Amino acid sequence: MAMRQLLIKNINQLVTVASAGKPWKTGTEMRNLGVIENATILVENGKISAIGSEKDLAKSILKDAEILDASDRVALPGFVDSHTHLVFAGTRENEFAMRAEGKTYQEIAEQGGGILSTVKATRQATKRDLKKLAARRLDDLLQHGTTTVEIKSGYGLDPDSEIKMLEVINDLAKEHYTTVVSTFLGAHAFPPEYKSNPDGYINLLCERMLPYIAKRKLAEFCDVFCDRGYFSPDQSRRILNEAARLGMKIKVHAEELGPSGGADLAAELHAVSVDHLEHITQQGIDGLKKSGVVATLLPGVSFFLNHGYAPARALIDSGVPVAIASDFNPGSCMSFSMPLMMTVACTHMKMSPEEAITSCTLNGAAALGLSSRVGSIEVGKDADIILYDIPNYRYLAYHFGANHVATVIKHGTILEFS
């Protein structure tokens, strides 16, 4: 194959988030973004091959190289959104209005709304319609700087509908520019048919759905909503042990609605990540640190549901690798904007802008086991690079509610949006 080169020059500020081979950053290292002023990047066949000054790189450039003048823009790695529920049908603005009147997320769920209302709409949707909706959302995410995204099933809750969702996710992974990671979340809620027979649903998950999904490699991860009113630690353990036995990696939704024991379970099972953690205790934090589990915080959920924030400072200061994701879904966070998540993390969780950037890039990649490929701008990694029309990187989370993306480069290709 002929060598395809792209030279990106005149970058005012290049935020590399370089980690020199480490999968994530922890503690004070999270503030070290490896910023280079007046930088040039050379990309070869979709991978970053050199970073330096224009003069340094001149000798490596072929005659037919594509040249992109960044015109003094700021470059960051593409965002890695490691937790979304982006495949869904229907929307829930009625619940948003009910919360404005004082109802809580749990009250709305108990009255038949919540996850189960999206399950109803998603079961009814065709695979084709679901895929069209999701592909458009992925385009939107790219235009807002997200180049890698994890997507969960979990709005089907029966074998056919869960498989329909996973097939959509796998089709998107093959056909869309975005790097897509698939997660099976059959244990998102108990479906109405199994309301009075929870063990029956766990049997269905373990004996029918998981083996089929593992055999057809429809999901890399298995996740469980281990929380008050949803799956208990014992039920979650059974599902996750079975998934691990079948070769799947583990994630856990935990400690969102109350102290659930989910963080201890994630530590016990050596999950790749445990997500939410609004109610995690110091004991839970120590467990995560010991077993090297990434803590994925979802500030958009706390903001949107107005229910309190995860203890980001205690987690970071205890040395746990912290990631931030959007949790984009129609119920608890109808936003996929990673800069907005950073703004909320800085204003409500007392994270520094530098920690927020590390959490949305390198540490997000770690939450997907992908940090050898994406999450930082370093030689050998995929050239997933976003140019922003901002004076410096701190401006990104500061000027919130606007899209500052100027150019999206995915795997070395400059994307055009119509």
Rg of the Cα trace of the chain? Answer: 21
Query: CB under 5 to 8 A by kind: which of ligand NIG, Fe ion, none does 178 bind?
Result: none
- Dist CA 383 CA 4 (whole Å): 12
Is 331 a binding residue for ligand NIG by CB under 6 A? The answer is: yes
Beta carbons within 10 angstroms of residue 4's beta carbon: 15
Query: CB under 5 to 8 A by kind: which of Fe ion, ligand NIG, none does 256 bind?
Result: ligand NIG
- Dist CA 138 CA 171 (whole Å): 13
Closest approach of ligand NIG to the CB of residue 364, in Å? 16
Spatial contact of 216 and 226, defined as CB atoms under 8 Å apart: no
Closest approach of ligand NIG to the CB of residue 115, in Å? 4
Footprint of ligand NIG on 122-181 (CB under 6 A) = none
Is 253 a binding residue for ligand NIG by CB under 6 A? The answer is: yes
Give 192: exposed, middle or buried? Use CB within 10 Å, 0-12, 13-18, 19+: exposed
C-alpha to C-alpha distances, 131 to 44, 168, 275, nearest whole angstrom: 32, 6, 26
Is 303 a binding residue for ligand NIG by CB under 6 A? The answer is: no
- Dist CA 208 CA 202 (whole Å): 10
Where on the phi/psi map is residue 373: left (φ > 0), alpha (ψ -120 to 50), or beta? alpha
Q: Would you say 150 or 384 has its CB closer to Fe ion?
A: 150
Is 225 a binding residue for ligand NIG by CB under 6 A? The answer is: yes
Spatial contact of 377 and 48, defined as CB atoms under 8 Å apart: yes
Is 327 a binding residue for Fe ion by CB under 5 A? The answer is: yes
Closest approach of ligand NIG to the CB of residue 29, in Å? 28
Is the Cα dihedral 219, 221, 222, 225 positive or negative?
negative
Closest approach of Fe ion to the CB of residue 133, in Å? 18
The footprint of Fe ion on this chain (CB under 5 A) covers a number of residues equal to: 1
Among 114, 299, 300, 311, which residue sits at the site for ligand NIG (rule: CB under 6 A)?
114
Enumerate residues 6+ apart whose C-beta is below 8 A from 408: 78, 142, 143, 145, 147, 386, 414, 415, 417
Is 341 a binding residue for ligand NIG by CB under 6 A? The answer is: no
Closest approach of ligand NIG to the CB of residue 92, in Å? 7
- Which of the ranges 30-38, 66-74, 112-120, 311-319 carries the binding residues for ligand NIG, by CB under 6 A? 112-120
Q: Would you say 301 or 342 has its CB closer to Fe ion?
A: 301
Beta bridge partners of 183: 152, 221
Q: Would you say 202 or 396 has its CB closer to ligand NIG?
A: 202
Q: Would you say 176 or 276 has its CB closer to Fe ion?
A: 276
Closest approach of Fe ion to the CB of residue 83, in Å? 6
Is 329 a binding residue for ligand NIG by CB under 6 A? The answer is: yes
Is 256 a binding residue for ligand NIG by CB under 6 A? The answer is: yes
Q: Would you say 68 or 151 has its CB closer to ligand NIG?
A: 151
Is 382 a binding residue for Fe ion by CB under 5 A? The answer is: no
Is 183 a binding residue for ligand NIG by CB under 6 A? The answer is: no
- Which of the ranges 64-72, 200-208, 326-334, 351-359 carries the binding residues for ligand NIG, by CB under 6 A? 326-334
C-alpha to C-alpha distances, 201 to 67, 188, 350, nearest whole angstrom: 56, 11, 41
**What residue type is 15 in one-letter code?**
V
Among 284, 342, 353, 347, which Cα is nearest to 314's?
284
What is the DSSP code string of 177-198?
SSEEEEEEEEETS--GGGTT-H
- Which of the ranges 67-75, 162-170, 323-331, 382-390 carries the binding residues for Fe ion, by CB under 5 A? 323-331
Separation of first and last alpha carbons in the chain: 30
Is 332 a binding residue for ligand NIG by CB under 6 A? The answer is: yes
Spatial contact of 124 and 160, defined as CB atoms under 8 Å apart: no
Footprint of ligand NIG on 49-108 (CB under 6 A) = 85
Closest approach of ligand NIG to the CB of residue 187, in Å? 11
Query: CB under 5 to 8 A by kind: which of ligand NIG, Fe ion, none does 25 bind?
Result: none
Spatial contact of 384 and 141, defined as CB atoms under 8 Å apart: no
Closest approach of ligand NIG to the CB of residue 305, in Å? 8
Interface with ligand NIG by CB under 6 A: which residues? 85, 114-115, 118, 225, 253, 256, 301, 327, 329-332
The binding site for Fe ion (CB under 5 A) comprises 327
